[in-house]
Structure formats: structure tokens, C-alpha cells
């Protein structure tokens, strides 16, 4: 799918709030023009499914989500849903399942750290108007913060767990499910008059989706990992890029907006960083809610004891998360978002010797095979998220799992 829009630099600047859009465009004209056009593009295939559902000519939401778990059994599906699943199962020529699995194995060798960078990924999004406006318009600005963090963490885990993103597997079907939830948000905002495309661009548009996947979920976590002293080989970086390229494709991002290699991903991230964005006022509320309610202390103690530990440790953890998060945000943006840095951010530097020692042990095979390390990290994170991958892989979801995963939007 190619863009048919031509959005002027002035209009793109007004939509995004990027004060230097024209200057960045002068350095990267083709990429920035594509981003400008992407501000006015949603996801036609997903949007058609939701329009069909609400028109009464399509299946109910429960039937649609069931179809995602059995995408080959769609002969009686309504036209828009059948087209959506046919497109989703018509794999791009570049997709290499083995390379995507290699990317997942590399990602999960440090999975516990990668899962913690979710907070940085969310803060990365909060600095942009296009990320915060849908939350404001749907009345979900600060409510359900913990549920949103857990749901996003569960989806990232499913999308990156080795083998789970293969076509027809749970990570793949959940990514399609979230894609349709995004379409449902767009439908809701447009139908109820809560959104002005001319002023704000299309909600959850192609450009913001591109930046979320490439910069927020791929490049930023790897930048954080590098700061901690973690080393990835070139092959690791390319495999992880392939994995996230595939995730983005399944999520409905146009193919030409996805990175073909890690160099592409870094260029997209660099362009995003070059934009001088003025964080919207709501970003302060979102960051505050994330720091206040975006984590839980879980030491595996009985419920009441764990609650006491959480209450007692909360002031320290809040200051720690705030300070460390400010480390990877420009000072001007951090101030605008209400992030305050303290000397505690140097704990990242102090952690490097321990991480390097772990790396040496891993290189000598003292931690087991690479596969064993990745699986151990995955088990640790899934236990904290309340995910049972064996049950999920058997497609035995219960209603709580599905509802929790859908709150990611």
C-alpha cells in the first residue's frame, strides 16, 4: 500500500508540534515526507473489519477474535474480515521465520532487562501529541495505568518469545487482535466526534505506529542495553531488527515504513530524535501516573506481606525509576514531562561490572547454552506477568487473559 496523501511541512509541524519539522526535512527529505503523509493514514484493512462489525453485516467481536486463533477456517467469514485474514496470512517474501526466532533468542538472553525498558518505551511515546491525544479523547488518560503496563508487557512478551510470533501462533494472533483494537479506537473517536483528522492527523496513524515499533520498541531498548554494558553482535542486531520488522508488518504498518536492517532502524530513530517536540500538557499526568501506579513490588511473599513491602519500597522505587528514566530523555523534554533526575541514575553505571561479569560467565558457558539462558529469562518475566506460555501456546485462553491483553490499546 502506498500513500496517496501529500501533507505539507507546515501542516505536519502543526499536527505533531515539531518546531523544526522543516529543518529536519531538509536533512532527510524522503523519509520525513513519508512521515508527513503517514500522519493521515490509518489501517484500511483493519478499519474495514470494524466498520463491518458495527454496521451489523459482520461478526461480533468474540467471533472475530476466535477467527484470529484459527485463521485458516474463515470460509464463512464476512468479506472484510476474510480479506483482513487473507492479507495477514499472505506472508511477505522477505520474512524468514528462522531469522525471527534467532532475533527472539537474542532478545531474551537479557529478557528481564528488556522487559524493564517498557517504561522507557511508554515515556518515549508520552512526549508526542499523537500518542497522548487518543488517551485523552477516550477518557483513559491516567486510569488503569497498571493494567496498561501489564497488558503491554504481556503483548511484548508474546510477540518476542521464541516461536510465538510465527504465523498462527499466540503472539501473531494477539498482534492482529491489538491491530483491530486500534481500528476500534479510530472508529470510536470518529463516530462520536471526539477527533479532528485535519487538526490532529488520523488517530494511531501509520507514522506514530512506525515510530512506536522501530524507535520505541526496538532501538530505544537496545540503546538502554548498551548503556548498561550489554554487547550484541551484528548478527544479533540484524536478527532482532528482522523480528520487530515482522511484528510491525503484522501490526499493519506499511512495508516501506519498516526497517530493512538495523541501520535503517537507527536512521528512523535519529530522525525522531532530531524533531524538537514540545510535550503536551497531558504528558506530565501520564508520566506521574506511570511512576505512581506503573509497577508492583513482587517478592513472591503471601499477599498481605507483599503489599506491605510494596508500600514501604514505593518511595524509593519511584525515585529510582524517575531518575533512571530521565537518563535517556533530553533534559528539556524531561523537564517538560516532569521527570526529575537525581544521582541515583548513576546506578546504571554501577551495574555495569555485574552485567559484564554475567556476560563473561555466559561466554564461557557457565550459565548454560544460549537457548537455556533465554528460556530462563523468559520464565522469570512470564512468572511476574502471570503468563503461562504452555497454556497459551495450546490456545486455551480464559476470558481474563483475553480481556487483559486487549487493554494494551
pLDDT in tens, 239-289: 999 999 999 999 999 999 999 999 999 999 999 999 998 888 889 988 998
Burial class (CB in 10 A: 0-12, 13-18, 19+), 140: middle
pLDDT at 403: 46
pLDDT in tens, 7-60: 999 999 999 999 999 999 999 999 999 999 999 999 999 999 999 999 999 999
pLDDT in tens, 168-217: 999 999 999 999 999 999 999 999 888 999 999 999 999 999 999 999 99
pLDDT in tens, 96-132: 999 999 999 999 999 888 888 888 888 888 888 888 8
193: left (phi over 0), alpha (psi -120 to 50) or beta: left
pLDDT in tens, 308-349: 877 888 888 888 888 988 999 888 888 999 998 889 888 999
Distances (CA, A) of 342 to 226, 279, 288, 330: 21, 21, 16, 15
Q: Count other C-beta atoms under 10 Å from residue 361's C-beta.
A: 12
DSSP string, 221-279: HHHHHHHTT----HHHHHHHHHHHHHHHHHTT--GGGS-SSHHHHHHHHHHHHHS-B--
What's the CA gap between 137 and 123, in Å, rounded?
A: 19
Partners of 18 in beta bridges: 277
What's the CA gap between 381 and 389, in Å, rounded?
A: 11
* Intra-chain end-to-end CA distance of the chain, in Å: 24
Mean pLDDT of the chain: 89
Distances (CA, A) of 113 to 164, 223, 345, 369, 380: 20, 12, 16, 19, 11
Partners of 277 in beta bridges: 18
Predicted TM-score (pTM) of this structure: 0.91
Amino acid at each position: 500500500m502506498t500513500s496517496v496523501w501529500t501533507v505539507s511541512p507546515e501542516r505536519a509541524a502543526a499536527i505533531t508540534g515539531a518546531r523544526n519539522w522543516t529543518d529536519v526535512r531538509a536533512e532527510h527529505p524522503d523519509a520525513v515526507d513519508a512521515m508527513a503523509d503517514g500522519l493521515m493514514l490509518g489501517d484500511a484493512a483493519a478499519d474495514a473489519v470494524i466498520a463491518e462489525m458495527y454496521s451489523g453485516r459482520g461478526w461480533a467481536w468474540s467471533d472475530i477474535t476466535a477467527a484470529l486463533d484459527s485463521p485458516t477456517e474463515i470460509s464463512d467469514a464476512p468479506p472484510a474480515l476474510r480479506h483482513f485474514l487473507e492479507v495477514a496470512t499472505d506472508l511477505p517474501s522477505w520474512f524468514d521465520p528462522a531469522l525471527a526466532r534467532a532475533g527472539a533468542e537474542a532478545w531474551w538472553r537479557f529478557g528481564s532487562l528488556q522487559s524493564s525498558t517498557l517504561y522507557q518505551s511508554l515515556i518515549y511515546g508520552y512526549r508526542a501529541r499523537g500518542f497522548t491525544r487518543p488517551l485523552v479523547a477516550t477518557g483513559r488518560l491516567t486510569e488503569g495505568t497498571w493494567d496498561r503496563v501489564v497488558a503491554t508487557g504481556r503483548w511484548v512478551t508474546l510477540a518476542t518469545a521464541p516461536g510465538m510470533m510465527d504465523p498462527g501462533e499466540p503472539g501473531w494472533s494477539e498482534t492482529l487482535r491489538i491491530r483491530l483494537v486500534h481500528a476500534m479506537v479510530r472508529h470510536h473517536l470518529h463516530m462520536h466526534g471526539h477527533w479532528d483528522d485535519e487538526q490532529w492527523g488520523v488517530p494511531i496513524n501509520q507514522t506514530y505506529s512506525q515510530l512506536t515499533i522501530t524507535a520505541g520498541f526496538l532501538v530505544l531498548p537496545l540503546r538502554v542495553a548498551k548503556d548498561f554494558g550489554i554487547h550484541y553482535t551484528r548478527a544479533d542486531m540484524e536478527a532482532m531488527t528482522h523480528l520487530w520488522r515482522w511484528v510491525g508488518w503484522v501490526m499493519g504498518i506499511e512495508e516501506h515504513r519498516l526497517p530493512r536492517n538495523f541501520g535503517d532502524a537507527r536512521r528512523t530513530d535519529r530522525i525522531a530524535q532530531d524533531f524538537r517536540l514540545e510535550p503536551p500538557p497531558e504528558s506530565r499526568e501520564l508520566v506521574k501516573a506511570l511512576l505512581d501506579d506503573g509497577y508492583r513490588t513482587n517478592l513472591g511473599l503471601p499477599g498481605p506481606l507483599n503489599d506491605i513491602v510494596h508500600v514501604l519500597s514505593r518511595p524509593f522505587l519511584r525515585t529510582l525509576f524517575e531518575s533512571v528514566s530521565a537518563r535517556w530523555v533530553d533534559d528539556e523534554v524531561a523537564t517538560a514531562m516532569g521527570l526529575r533526575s537525581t544521582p541515583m541514575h548513576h546506578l546504571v553505571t554501577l551495574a555495569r561490572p555485574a552485567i559484564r561479569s554475567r556476560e563473561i560467565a555466559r561466554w564461557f558457558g557457565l550459565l548454560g547454552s544460549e537457548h537455556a539462558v533465554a528460556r530462563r529469562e523468559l520464565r522469570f518475566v512470564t512468572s511476574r506477568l502471570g503468563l503461562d506460555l504452555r497454556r497459551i501456546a495450546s490456545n486455551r485462553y480464559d476470558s481474563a487473559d483475553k480481556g487483559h491483553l486487549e487493554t494494551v490499546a
